Structure 1
């Protein structure tokens, strides 16, 4: 009798055929959703385009990008009169290739331009340059918005967000160090000196500056060269490289002399490492190369070939890694 009652009770707990079918459908739906979510995850390679405050931002995810492992982010700002697509072109800068090698996300924002396609764009780096400066474009707010948009869309390590740039874009990197040190861990500028009138970083921040001694646009010892800009009113009397470094040594409260970290034919580097908050100020100088990105495969027509004594991509990423350990 007890066995018979127990059998009936157990039978009543078994799912009906309809319930079993419902469970199978739910399981199937979950599996399909997981597959869809996986397919929708961003993949590495190529360029993806975002719109931030009405401007184009090209984003490259490194090969092997894994959303479960937050990656460093580098914002790369083009030179004055350039555009995001030019900066993203690996024949000129090689940053996508370096991102694949090192595993960081690299984004190429577009500067302010009056043209629909965004070409001939400039950045408001303080005293320079072009329409972005003249119209008072808030490129610091734009850079902050770009970082926020990318962090919201991709898996980014917010403690390892960096900025770099060429010429006017390098000047903006200096300004970001001054006004957005809460966002950027470190900055690296190539051929663009400090163009700020005032600078009060919210915290000490590491800065790398790379410059050719024979730069004929942003002169090494200060001033604008004859090839700086067709309209001289669109630029400024550029701050010298030594003065730019001196400012950062003072801001970061570095207390000991610089130490030579690289000395080879055609290029030297020296670094101040005894700075507040464990920061670092570093200067790398190439003897030749003019106004270009050291290590670049090609430069614009009429410009001197880039120095091959130093690879800016390698030096910049090495610096970012050193200061974020």
Structure 2
């Protein structure tokens, strides 16, 4: 009988002990989540919010007057090869935070694949280019999708107005996202980075803007890698020309109307292809000068020619994104 009483006592105590253990585990999990949330919401340099997505840094800028009750457009801005998120977020070099404040969109600066703890000297796997991201087969399309989801989970975002843009290797990734994530991105805009995909079958037509300088010495306007591209040419590719890139997109989007000149001024022109499937459009803006830089930028890399002043890339990109949303 004594053994039976002990067994019964243990049987009664066991559920209580299990419940206490479960409660401790839940409290511990909640504490860890609060610490993670606090860390992810910590302001980075310049008041940017920093998120961690798949172990990578993503900097987020909320526009002046951001209202969580009103879904805002979202623009993902991808840095160039060898760059990093903070560099793309520098308004002297790109001005995207200022433009976001003016236009009212959320802008995010994801960090590319990097072997360094701080994330610098990062690249994107855009298909044929570039660097370690390409060589390691980094799933940057999956990362871009996850980044959008992470931002949507934290901020009020209009799912019908999600866009991508990028510089150089980041522009190439924008082309790839148009090919493989047209279900997420309403339109994309690439600056100084041509189509690097080997194959492209968008799930639906998508509006695309490409901006390029005729005197680009990295990604040559008429194709090939210029003298100022990566020192190790095995880390890049023989870049597709700008005309070939546009030809590919007008074919993919089944554009039937000849291009119309929509901007014609000293130093810059824009041509727009309409009559495309799904009501999308393809636009090409070309500057005469500026080299491998962001048109309208206040500063460029040391030793490089100044950015073109004949075109403001941010104005052209946002105007294009707005038109694509109509």
TM-score normalised by L of structure 2: 0.86
Determine if contact 2:42/2:49 at 8 Å carries over to the other structure: no
Give the corresponding residue for 1:62.
63
Give the corresponding residue for 2:284.
283
Matched, 1:132 2:150: no
Aligned-partner SS, 2:101: helix
Matched, 1:110 2:111: yes
Instruction: State the aligned residue count.
Output: 284
Give the corresponding residue for 1:73.
74
Work out the CA distance in 2 between the residues paired with 1:226 and 1:206: 31
Q: CA deviation at 1:42?
A: 11
Work out the CA distance in 2 between the residues paired with 1:89 and 1:269: 26
Work out the CA distance in 1 between the residues paired with 2:250 and 2:133: 28
Work out the CA distance in 2 between the residues paired with 1:121 and 1:197: 22
Determine if contact 1:130/1:234 at 8 Å carries over to the other structure: yes
Summarize deviations over 1:143-178 as a string: whole Å, max 9, x none.
Answer: 000000000100000000000000000000000000
Determine if contact 2:217/2:227 at 8 Å carries over to the other structure: yes
Determine if contact 1:170/1:193 at 8 Å carries over to the other structure: yes
Work out the CA distance in 2 between the residues paired with 1:282 and 1:104: 22
**RMSD of aligned Cα (Å):** 1.3
Which residues of structure 1 form unaligned runs of 5+? 1-40
TM-score normalised by L of structure 1: 0.86
Determine if contact 1:42/1:154 at 8 Å carries over to the other structure: no
Task: Please say which structure displays the higher CA radius of gyration.
Answer: 1
Work out the CA distance in 1 between the residues paired with 2:188 and 2:75: 9
Work out the CA distance in 2 between the residues paired with 1:46 and 1:62: 11
Give the corresponding residue for 1:304.
305
Work out the CA distance in 2 between the residues paired with 1:136 and 1:308: 37
Determine if contact 1:175/1:195 at 8 Å carries over to the other structure: yes
Query: Superposition pairs for residues 6-21 of structure 1, below 5 Å?
Result: none
Give the corresponding residue for 2:179.
178
Aligned-partner SS, 1:319: helix
Q: CA deviation at 1:46?
A: 2.5
Q: CA deviation at 1:304?
A: 1.2
Determine if contact 2:167/2:193 at 8 Å carries over to the other structure: yes
Work out the CA distance in 1 between the residues paired with 2:277 and 2:196: 23
Give the corresponding residue for 1:216.
217
Which residues of structure 2 form unaligned runs of 5+? 1-40
Give the corresponding residue for 2:14.
none
Work out the CA distance in 2 between the residues paired with 1:116 and 1:136: 19
